[in-house]
Amino acid sequence: MPPASLLPNAMKRLSTASPGFEAEFTALLHQSRDTTDKVDAAVAAIIADVRARGDAALLDYTERFDRTRPAHLRVTTSEIDAAVAEVPPALHAALDLAATRIEAFHRAQMPADITVPDPAGLRLGMRWTALDAVGIYVPGGKAAYPSSVLMNALPARVAGVGRVAMCVPTPDGVLNPLVLAAARRAGVTEVYRVGGAQAVAALAYGTASIAPVDRIVGPGNAYVAEAKRQVFGRVGIDSIAGPSEVVVIADAANDPRHVAVDLLAQAEHDESAQSILITDDAAFADAVAAAVLAELPTLPRHAIAGASWQAHGAILLVRDMAEAAALSDRLAPEHLQLMVRDPEALFARIRHAGAVFLGACCPEALGDYVAGPNHVLPTGRTARFASGLSVFDFLKRTTWVSADAAALARVGPAAVALAEAEGLQAHGRSVALRLTTQPPSPSA
């Protein structure tokens, strides 16, 4: 039996046929899922301390938060060797399969440089180059995610980043073997046993042991997220990630248990995660709700999943799939599963989602590990304007222009006129002088 607190009507149930639907849906859209206290002042103090005291601060915070004071912050090659040797062959094979698929998908994203034909005779173009150095934050302790190592490190490697440094906390001095095996498979050899806001500060500003990087990526707790926010501008970041979320659009042809487990797969992340079912069949909605409650007690993380479902779960009953698509776009979910007869046709109507999974045989969990596209995705409705992690996060664009005297003569007078209209006389003069003076030939 499910816990008494997990009643069938605990989660929200809305219907577009209800007169009060719009108000109820708007409340769902704006529901706060942030359960953490404000940590900005504490994080600012940690960052300032690391900037002032460097490695000494890192060691003090590691002793305070992880209950260990390592002799050296960097994980040695021999330590990585020993940890990797502990990983069973079957898990090595799984990591390799996932890594191979992730590499292949991100390699296909690599853009080409462009040169644009110009009728005025100028040469115009854009060149892509990789960042010099990237820092990857990997959660440690109870939340150890080797899949996150692969998803963050491999796109950087594919993009051509020269240096990838990884920070991972080691509570009580324990290294996670699978995390280090994933790092090795991803080609990361620079690993530091430091976590929290202090790790982000070290990656952004540098210490004696940890050289600074140009961009910091990877998930973390509220302190890590706030630290990334505060160092942004000094370095680039991927995003400020919020709690995980999924929307499942499903018709009655599906197995209710499959849908229920897909909803719980997100709910088990943490109590602030959100799982929403959108369906056009009331009886199917009932069956899924019952299946969720039947499945919950069998999960090791049933308390977390149950709290998430009770506080943030929802079932939306719609008249048709056109309404389902419109509501999904307003939710702009991190993950979207389309479990309908023609998922491609429904997908064509949807604009806003971090990642979409088409068909009854393609659960979102596949994308977390082995599908190939990145699982670092926009949360909290930010898919309206943001995208998931990709090689583009580790590349930058440089435009270039080349002009000879003839090309300058064709477009230069317009530049002079615009500069003078803006009151920037030196701008106009820098062009005008070249219109009246023949430049020396390259061989002179």
48 and 58 assigned to the same domain: yes
Residue 190 bridge partners (DSSP)? 165
Among candidate residues 339, 371, 403, the one where a domain is terminated: 371
In a domain, 413, yes or no: no
248 and 203 in a common domain: no
Question: Are 212 and 268 contained in the same domain?
Answer: no
Residue 285 class from Cβ within 10 Å (0-12 exposed, 13-18 middle, 19+ buried)?
buried
Active site residues: 334-335
Tell me the pLDDT band of 32, cut-offs 50, 70 and 90.
confident
Check whether residue 349 and residue 212 sit in a common domain. Answer: no
Residue 59, in any domain of the structure: yes
Helix axes 256-267, 302-312, angle to 10 degrees: 100
Q: How many folded domains does the chain comprise? A: 2
Q: What is the pLDDT of residues 44-53, one digit of tens each?
A: 999 999 999 9
Same domain, 297 and 160: no
Confidence (pLDDT) at 3: 45
Which residue among 319, 354, 371 closes a domain?
Answer: 371
Distance CA 51, CA 53 (A): 6
Which of 241, 257, 277 is at the close of a domain? 241
**Residue in the structure block whose two tokens are 């950087």:** 156
**Which amino acid type is present at position 301?**
R
Main-chain phi, psi angles of 203, to 5 degrees? -65, -35
pLDDT 10s digits, 308-319: 999 999 999 999
Let me know whether 107 and 233 are in one domain: yes
pLDDT tens digits, one per residue of 89-135:
999 999 999 999 999 999 999 999 999 989 999 999 999 999 999 99
> Is residue 404 one of the residues assigned to a domain?
no
Residue 232: give the domain boundaries.
Answer: 40-241
Q: Each residue of 219-230: pLDDT tens digit?
A: 988 999 999 999
Same domain, 208 and 73: yes
This prediction has a pTM of 0.92
Q: Assess if residue 437 is contained within a domain.
A: no
| Of residues 91 and 443, more confidently modeled | 91
Write down the pLDDT at residue 241.
85
pLDDT of residue 440: 56
Q: Angle at the Cα of 33 (from 358 to 25), degrees rounded to 5? A: 65
| 339-373 pLDDT, tens digit each | 999 999 999 999 999 999 999 999 999 999 999 99
Q: What are phi and psi of 31, to 5 degrees?
A: -65, 130
- The β-bridge partners of 192 are 74, 167
| 8 has pLDDT over 90 | no
What the block records as the tokens of 312 is 């943030």
CATH number at residue 110: 3.40.50.1980
Average pLDDT along the chain: 94
Helix (H, G, I), strand (E, B), or coil: what is residue 376?
coil
366 and 335 part of one domain: yes
Residues 210 and 71 in one domain: yes
Do 167 and 56 lie in one domain? The reply is yes
Q: What is the pLDDT of residues 238-273, one digit of tens each?
A: 998 889 999 999 999 999 999 999 999 999 999 999
Which residue type is seen at 72?
H
- 353 found inside a domain: yes
**Does 180 map to a domain?**
yes
Please indicate, yes or no, if residue 434 is contained in any of the structural domains: no
On whether residue 183 sits in a domain, the answer given is: yes
One domain for residues 123 and 268? no
Within this chain, do residues 205 and 260 fall inside the same structural domain, yes or no? Answer: no
Sign of CA dihedral 186, 377, 106, 199: negative
